[in-house]
Amino acid sequence: MQAVKTANAPAPIGPYSQGIKLENLIFCSGQTPLDPKTMQMCSLDIIEQTKQVMENIGAILKEAGSDFSGIVKTNIYLKNFADFERVNKVYESYLGEVKPARTTVEVSRLPKDALVEIECIAIAKPE
C-alpha cells in the first residue's frame, strides 16, 4: 500500500491521504472544491465547485498513474440535490465513453461547507 501525494490537489485537512494505491487500484479520498494553491474554496457556484473537484481528482489520478478513463466507481455527495443536473453535466464532461458505477446522495453538510464532494476508485494504467 502506497500513499498518493501531489501538490496539484489540496493537502489533506485531516488524518488521511489524498489517495492510496494498492497494486493496480487507486482509492481517491473525497475531494472538495479547494484550490490546491490557496486551500480556499474556489467559488460559491456549484458548476465551478464541481470543475475544481474534478480537477483535484484528475491530479491525484495522474500522480498515481491513471486518468478519468480508469475510474470504475464514484460516490458524489451533494449539499442540495437540486444541483444534481448541473453537477452531472460537469462530471460527465470529464469522463470517457464508459461511465463508472456511481452513487449520488444528498448530505446535510460537507467539509468547509462545500456544495459537492466526490470520491472514486480507479485502475492504474499499465506501465
9 and 41 Cβ atoms separated by less than 8 Å? no
Percentage of the chain surpassing pLDDT 70?
99
Predicted confidence (pLDDT) at residue 76 exceeds the cutoff of 90? yes
- Report the chain's mean pLDDT, rounded to a whole number: 97
The answer on pLDDT for 82 being more than 70 is: yes
Whole-structure pTM value = 0.96
Q: Kindly tell me if the per-residue pLDDT of 101 is higher than 80.
A: yes
- Per the model's pLDDT, the better-predicted residue between 17 and 13 turns out to be 17
Annotated domain spans of the chain: 2-123
pLDDT digits 0-9 by tens, 19-58: 999 999 999 999 999 999 999 999 999 999 999 999 999 9
User: What is residue 125's predicted lDDT score, i.e. its pLDDT?
Assistant: 87
**Dihedral pair phi/psi, residue 116, rounded to 5°:** -150, 145
Q: If you classify domain 2-123 with CATH, what class do you get? A: alpha beta
What's the pLDDT band for 87 if we cut at 50, 70, 90? very high
Whether residue 97 is predicted with pLDDT greater than 70 in this model: the reply is: yes
Residue 11: CB atoms within 10 A of its CB come to: 11
CA distances from 24 to 68, 71, 122, 125 (A): 15, 12, 8, 8
Closest CA to 29 of 93, 115, 117: 117
Q: Please report which confidence band the pLDDT of residue 127 belongs to, taking 50, 70 and 90 as the band edges.
A: low
Total Cβ atoms within 10 A of residue 57:
26
Burial class (CB in 10 A: 0-12, 13-18, 19+), 86: middle
- Locate 83 and state its grid cell: 444541483
Q: Which residue has the cell 453538510?
A: 109
